[in-house]
Amino acid sequence: MLYRSLIRPLLFLFPTERVHYMTMNALNVLQGFPPTRWILRGLFSTRKAEDAKEVFGLEFPNRVGLAAGFDKDARYMHALRSLGFGFIEVGTVTPRPQAGNPKPRLFRLKKDEALINRMGFNNRGLEAMVENLKKRPKDVIIGGNIGKNKDTSNEQAVEDYVTCFHGLHPHVDYFVVNVSSPNTPGLRKLQEKGPLLEILNRMYREAGQYEVQRPILLKIAPDLTDTQVDDIVEIVVESGIDGVIATNTTISRDGLQTPVTAIDSIGNGGLSGRPLNQRATEVVRYLSDRAEGRFKVIGVGGIHDVRTAQEKLDAGAALIQVYSAFIFEGPALISRIIRGIRTAP
């Protein structure tokens, strides 16, 4: 493959975060011209009516989406749509802009085809995202992943989520409550039953103000125990929200091929990519079995080819998302997965 043999080695000569913005800004320029936009869509977009899937009352052009964290400020939606994604999740956004954690904060594990990040919800804030979303593409589903500012206490976190919910409501198609990132101190404590129910119940009540109802989903960590996942099921059903995204990044470092010394030198952060696949699929299956049709699951974590995509769907996921593999496999991965799951038995 041209990407793996030529393009990726060149891109990997640059620091991870820098090359991300370099490539996405270049794609934004290319898709801005009709001829190159037509070429991009011809190469990577494989839309067919048979790929469409209705979930949460929304018509998704296909079942393959981009996970949150890639387009934090909704700056690259048009370029990403041209690459074939059926839905794009922007964010995580916080009410106020924040710089995130000090750089470097995004690291490649080449042997594992994985990433470690400790970005820390770096974003330009709610107002900046809203301005970008006013120019969103209309033929792709856009989700808004929302979080709290680092300096907002957990006791006041619900207000940050509600602020983002109201600000984005006219501009996105669904919401994701992110309480599972390991890179904001104390955030994962909001996955505990009491604070999580407070946030979700409040959001459900706030949603009642609108004539148009936006689905609300919860994103959970892969590091939860089965008992904790059981609590999540109970919370989702009790709160009345629409679904769960499983899973976010993991703090585990088990089974990596990268030397321990290199891992230790990187330090803290959430791991994504191939090593997460098995655990993420286990959580998707566990959730789907216990959901008993009461809510839907989006599967994400370690998907890197048609086989691992199909595993998530077979485990009960209604939709799937990719992130790290998009970096390691290149943009052609999306159309390969879409065609592959289209023809799966």
| SS3 of the chain | CHHHHHHHHHHCCCCHHHHHHHHHHHHHHHHCCHHHHHHHHHHHCCCCHHHCEEECCEEECCCEEECCCCCCCCCCHHHHHHCCCCEEEEEEECCCCECCCCCCCEEEEHHHCEEEECCCCCECCHHHHHHHHCCCCCCCEEEEEECCCCCCCHHHHHHHHHHHHHHHCCCCCEEEEECCCCCCCCHHHHHCHHHHHHHHHHHHHHHCCCCCCCCEEEEECCCCCHHHHHHHHHHHHHHCCCEEEECCCECCCCCCCCCHHHHHHHCCCEEEEHHHHHHHHHHHHHHHHHHCCCCEEEEECCCCCHHHHHHHHHCCCCEEEECHHHHHHCCHHHHHHHHHHHCCC
Check residue 183 and give its pLDDT: 81
Report how far residue 288's alpha carbon sits from residue 117's, in angstroms, rounded to the nearest whole number.
28
114-117 and 106-109 as β-strands: parallel, antiparallel, unpaired?
Answer: antiparallel
Q: What is the pLDDT of residue 342?
A: 85
pLDDT of residue 250: 96
Percent of the residues in the chain that have a pLDDT greater than 70, as a whole number: 99
Residue 236 pLDDT: 95
Does pLDDT of 344 surpass 80?
no
Catalytic residues: 181
Q: Which of 38-52, 153-167, 328-342 has the lowest average pLDDT?
A: 38-52
Tens digits of residue pLDDT in 284-327: 999 999 999 999 999 999 999 999 999 999 999 999 999 999 99
Count of CB atoms situated within 10 Å of the CB of 132: 17
Does position 345 have pLDDT exceeding 60, yes or no? no
Strand-by-strand arrangement of the 114-117 sheet: 106-109, 114-117, 270-273
At 46, is the pLDDT very low, low, confident or very high (cuts 50, 70, 90)?
confident
Mean pLDDT, range 60-70, rounded to an integer: 97
**Number of residues that this document lists for the chain:** 345
Question: pLDDT of 13-39, one tens digit each?
Answer: 999 999 999 999 999 999 999 999 999
State mean pLDDT over 187-207.
92
Q: Max Cα separation, the chain?
A: 55
pLDDT > 90: percent of the chain: 90
Question: For 189-193, 232-236, 238-242, 262-266, which range has the lowest pLDDT when averaged over its residues?
Answer: 189-193
pLDDT digits (tens, 9 = 90+) for 70-120: 999 999 999 999 999 999 999 999 999 999 999 999 999 999 999 999 999
Q: Which two tokens stand for residue 306?
A: 């048609």
pLDDT score, position 3: 87
Task: Supply 40's token pair.
Answer: 């991009």
Q: Quick one: tokens of 113?
A: 């085809």
- What confidence tens digit (pLDDT) does each residue in 212-229 have? 999 999 999 999 999 999
Instruction: For residue range 120-158, list pLDDT tens digits in order.
Output: 999 999 999 999 999 999 999 999 999 999 999 999 999
**What average pLDDT score do residues 208-213 get?**
94
CA 126/CA 168 separation, integer angstroms? 8
Q: Is the pLDDT of residue 265 over 90?
A: yes
Q: How confident is the prediction for the chain on average, in pLDDT? A: 95
